[in-house]
Amino acid sequence: MAWALVSTIVDQLGSLIASEFKDRFGSLLASEVASIVNVKEEVEKLERKFHEIQAKLNDAEERQVKEEAVRLWLKKLNDVSYEMADVLDEWNTAKIKADIEKEKEAEASTAKRRKVLSLTNLYSSVSTVSQRRDIALKIKEITEKLDKIDREGEMYKFVLTSGNDEVVKPPTDSHVDVSDIIGRDEVRGHLVKMLLGRGNEEERSPHVISLVGMGGVGKTTLAQLAYNDSELNSAHFEKKGWICVSDPFDKFMVAKAIIQAFGGGESNITQWSSLMDKMCETIQERKLFFVFDDVWIEDSMLWEPFRLALQNAAQGSRILVTTRKSKVADIVGSAERINLEELSDDDCWSIFSRIAFSDRDSEQRKDLEEIGRKISDKCKGLPLAARTLGSLMRFKSEKEQWEMVFFSRLWELEDVEKGLFAPLLFSYYDLPSPLKRCFSYCAVFPKDYVYFEEELVSMWMAQGYIKSNANMERIVAREYLKILLIRSLFQRDYGYKENIMSFQMHDIVHDLAQFMAKNECITINGYEEFGQNLQNARHLYLEIPQNAQIPESIYSAKNLRTLIFVGLRAHNLSKLFQHFKLLRTLTLSYQLGTKVARMIAKDVNSEN
């Protein structure tokens, strides 16, 4: 993320020099001229220093994955870059205020008003001179910090390279999603057969089936295929529901999602015993089919209330659980389980090649196939890795570029999810710097969050991430989102109506975003303890129980630029604006988290 942040600062400094200090000296006081010259010199010096450091960042960002010292060096650089961004905001705010004063002066029509304004402007000029001097001092301090960071970086002997700031518009004939059921026909049929099996008197109710496998192997995809299977849709389940559970396990969220799935509406119950009673009442004697996706719970006591509640369902009900852990399958009381294995090399190659070669002629394919198969083998049978790497190689036309990927040192990383992280890092590092910032920003949202196009586009714009000519920001931001989708860093979410564009991140892709955002993006669920250090946080997502007070600990996050509140009441707003003066995005919601909304939407969509 450092390259993206520094790149933005360099652009802003260049614009400041070009627009603020050009032809400004004719009618200014001598003291103000001296102040402006002083600021100009400091800004130019700082810009040169940022340019020098920028050349080291590609190498530094790759090495941080394995070298903790480099990671800490980048953190210092990020902090200073944010300081500079704040000073630039201060400068721009002062400029806006000065422009407003000029407009007022131009609009004044009476001599008396002009006289008052001229006196005001005299004091305004003094204030402006003082303010410019303060800004010059701040810039000088930042330059000194940056000099020190640069000297520290010399010990790492970074390879100097140029970064990629150019965002190439995606082709108009973007590929459709490759079928994720390659190599899964047999297991899919077996799973559907299990779900359709007729219950008998001896069968435990509800009948729990678990899909177990490592991250990226395709558990959620297989569950989605089964959930939408035409045979299951024609079965006599009274209600279907999908709940993204994730980690940490939030029993309130899961219980409320179950209640809402059966038409119980949004529950304002805050007492667990009352919520449990409501859940049992809602389920009573109804034939259901539920998917609990991405379950991590290893404490049987946490699951016990749900086991007891689900026993009230009618005979023939089915629960499908996806998890990475066999222990979870035991805890949820699985009657049957499917251990989902990696794909064969041939099946993995089929996914990879259908994306990577989708726009190439036979001659290009012949030239690249040998090296392509070697790259495909590194996917280790994981569909997510094959899709991500295929999406990356689709945009590389030269054989030398393919060889650079194959021989990259990123493959030397210790196994993270048995190597899945490496293909994702390739995709991240290949992004232009504006897109890196947009992608990393998504780490502020919780896992399984459903991103709506207009919501995300507006937030990116508010943060200043979109590089565009005037009045084109929204169009460009939509293109950014489209590129991330084509790169397989986002995936379409089809739980909502077709005319509403919504997206999700695979949970491991979300892990990558969190890794790159470090401690800048924080997500806090209000049912947890507020024990996190928020002093370095720049973007915060906070979900709190209804009617709860805002935790005092969040006021230590003085540098917040994004604050997303879920469950906030209006009477809690008074202190926000006193503490968070750098905010660019403030989102207030009285609704439950998006996980619940997604589950309800899937259920409604299946009925229509």
Domain boundaries, the chain: 2-156, 185-342, 345-429, 433-597
Kindly report which listed range (19-28, 47-56, 418-427, 529-538) carries the lowest average pLDDT score.
19-28
pLDDT tens-digit map of 424-439 = 888 888 888 888 889 9
Q: Please report which confidence band the pLDDT of residue 265 belongs to, taking 50, 70 and 90 as the band edges.
A: low
H or E stretch at 242: strand 239-244
User: What are the tokens at 203?
Assistant: 């069968």
Q: Is the pLDDT of residue 500 over 90?
A: no
In angstroms, the first-to-last Cα distance of the chain is 42
pLDDT at 526: 61
pLDDT at 369: 93
User: Do 161 and 55 meet the contact criterion of CB atoms below 8 Å apart?
Assistant: yes
The CATH-assigned architecture of domain 185-342 is 3-Layer(aba) Sandwich (3.40)
Q: Is the pLDDT of residue 479 over 70?
A: yes
Q: Please report which confidence band the pLDDT of residue 77 belongs to, taking 50, 70 and 90 as the band edges.
A: confident
Q: Is the pLDDT of residue 118 over 60?
A: no
User: Do 527 and 482 meet the contact criterion of CB atoms below 8 Å apart?
Assistant: no
Q: Is the pLDDT of residue 266 over 90?
A: no
User: Do 503 and 521 meet the contact criterion of CB atoms below 8 Å apart?
Assistant: no
Closest CA to 319 of 302, 305, 332: 332
**How many whole angstroms separate alpha carbon 254 and alpha carbon 269?**
13
Give the Cβ contact number of residue 147 at 10 Å. Answer: 13
User: Do 293 and 221 meet the contact criterion of CB atoms below 8 Å apart?
Assistant: no
What mean pLDDT is predicted for residues 260-281?
78
- Residue ranges of alpha helices (H) inside 55-110 are 57-63, 68-107
DSSP codes of every residue in 394-419: TT--SHHHHHHHHT-GGGGSPPSTTT
**How many whole angstroms separate alpha carbon 484 and alpha carbon 428?**
10
Q: Please report which confidence band the pLDDT of residue 8 belongs to, taking 50, 70 and 90 as the band edges.
A: low
Kindly report which listed range (7-21, 227-241, 497-511) carries the lowest average pLDDT score.
7-21
pLDDT at 129: 61
Task: Count Cβ atoms within 10 A of the Cβ of residue 321 and give its class: 0-12 exposed, 13-18 middle, 19 or more buried.
Answer: buried
Q: Is the pLDDT of residue 131 over 80?
A: no
Distance (Å) of CA 311 to CA 202, 236, 287: 13, 18, 11
What mean pLDDT is predicted for residues 446-475?
87
What mean pLDDT is predicted for residues 165-175?
49
H or E stretch at 549: none
**How many whole angstroms separate alpha carbon 527 and alpha carbon 545?**
7
**How many whole angstroms separate alpha carbon 392 and alpha carbon 411?**
15
Q: Please report which confidence band the pLDDT of residue 605 belongs to, taking 50, 70 and 90 as the band edges.
A: very low
Residue 247 makes CB contacts below 8 A (sequence gap 6+) with 294, 296, 447
pLDDT at 412: 74
pLDDT at 173: 35
Q: Which residue has the tokens 């001092």?
A: 137
H or E stretch at 465: none
- Sheet strand arrangement including 207-212: 239-244, 288-295, 318-323, 207-212, 336-339
Residue 9 makes CB contacts below 8 A (sequence gap 6+) with 50, 81, 84, 85, 88
pLDDT at 351: 92
Say whether the peptide bond before residue 171 is cis (omega within 30 degrees of 0).
Answer: no
What mean pLDDT is predicted for residues 278-301?
88
Task: Count Cβ atoms within 10 A of the Cβ of residue 202 and give its class: 0-12 exposed, 13-18 middle, 19 or more buried.
Answer: exposed
Average pLDDT, the chain: 77
Region at 558 (left for phi over 0; alpha for psi -120 to 50; beta for the rest): alpha
Looking at per-residue pLDDT, the higher value among 408 and 416 belongs to: 408
pLDDT at 120: 40
What mean pLDDT is predicted for residues 582-597?
65
Region at 361 (left for phi over 0; alpha for psi -120 to 50; beta for the rest): beta
Longest CA–CA span in the chain (Å) reads 96
Q: Is the pLDDT of residue 528 over 60?
A: no
pLDDT at 209: 93
DSSP codes of every residue in 380-400: TT-HHHHHHHHHHHTT--SHH
Kindly report which listed range (225-229, 332-336, 556-560, 577-581) carries the lowest average pLDDT score.
577-581
Q: Please report which confidence band the pLDDT of residue 175 belongs to, taking 50, 70 and 90 as the band edges.
A: very low
Helices (H) and strands (E) in the chain, counts: 23, 12
Most confident region among 125-139, 254-268, 448-462, 559-573 by mean pLDDT: 448-462
What mean pLDDT is predicted for residues 583-593?
72
**How many whole angstroms separate alpha carbon 311 and alpha carbon 290?**
13
H or E stretch at 433: helix 433-441
Closest CA to 140 of 230, 80, 181, 93: 80
Most confident region among 190-204, 260-274, 468-482 by mean pLDDT: 468-482
pLDDT at 80: 83
**How many whole angstroms separate alpha carbon 283 and alpha carbon 290?**
11
* Rg of the Cα atoms in the chain: 28
